[in-house]
Amino acid sequence: MTLNNLSDKPVGVIGAGSFGTVIANMLAQNRKVLLYARDPEQVARINKEQTNKGYTLHENVLAINDLAQLANECEVLFPIVPSQHFRAMMKKLAPYLHPYHMLIHGTKGFDITLPPGETIETMKTLDRKMVKTMSEVIKEESVAVRIGCLAGPNLSRELAQRQPAATVIASHFNEVIQTGKKLLKSDRFQVYENNDIVGVEIAGVLKNIIAIASGALSGLGFGDNAKGLLISRGAVEMVYLGRALGGDTKAFLGVAGIGDLVTTCNSPMSRNFTVGYRLAKGEKLDQIVADMQEVAEGINTVRIAKKCADHYKVRALITDRLYKVLFEGLTVEEALEFLMRYPLNMDIDFI
């Protein structure tokens, strides 16, 4: 496939959540788009009403419920499903994929593979062999070779309103990056390039932890000084943990790292920010999760990142305290008090 004949075939999007829907609309400015959803009733409703998740769909978007049709008609696919369903989705999709397919995922989460009989609760620590990024899952489960990821400060509602924004497409293959740019770039949407796909993926995942903490700060009524402190210390923590997991420092300092971190730490539209905010207001985690319409990836990420930090002996104070808030009954106030009292002298020591 060359860039010139891209328009011959529709582009596929897997996952009809908010972000998948908005990406489908952006792609539809120039291409026909097949939007895959698991639920046949949702597919019928989308095609009848031409709306989904509160967004009006472009006339070039057609919802379907058939992965074989999707793979047969599309060479470029954008899988955008929650991380806990990603491997199962890839197992279903894999029989229909060929080496010519190009997959650019937009999922910010980790996949974990545990020893038989173990659960994440019974594991004291996790090493990198058990923790996979979505590009690694695609590689493990399919014959796809040309794999990329989409990451950055991309709040669905702002993208839908065509507010100025940017993203990063990361891949080991320049052809994947250039294809993604050609399909997505517009006068309101800038697309940057990065070859460190794993670093970009890890940055996009870890920032969700700090976003929960930022929401908690806001929920407690603290101001911008406290948030500035949290974001800067959170960025350092992301670098330490990200490097232990195999990412390059540079990936954490760009649009997919700092850019995404600042956005989600300041936006009530962020699901992870909302989780932290509601926790600080005294709601229980089970109650928050039960009435959220879409997954807040950061909750599971905290659990995984804490056990990775323990394994690699990385100091990750924010992650550690947040783990205790989410899963061990520590209050948000107690966590904050600990973080403010902890003695730290060095500001930046990773460059």
List the catalytic residues. Answer: 207
Partners of 14 in the beta sheet? 36, 79
Residues 6+ apart with CB under 8 A from 197: 133, 135, 147, 148, 149, 170, 171, 172
For residues 267 and 284, the answer to whether their CB atoms sit within 8 Å is no
Place of tokens 């639920």: 39
On the CB side of 38, CA atoms within 13 Å amount to 13
Distance CA 302, CA 146 (A): 30
Rounded CA gap, 122 and 191, in Å? 41
CA distance linking residue 79 with residue 142, whole number of Å: 13
Integer Cα distance of 127 and 304 in angstroms: 10
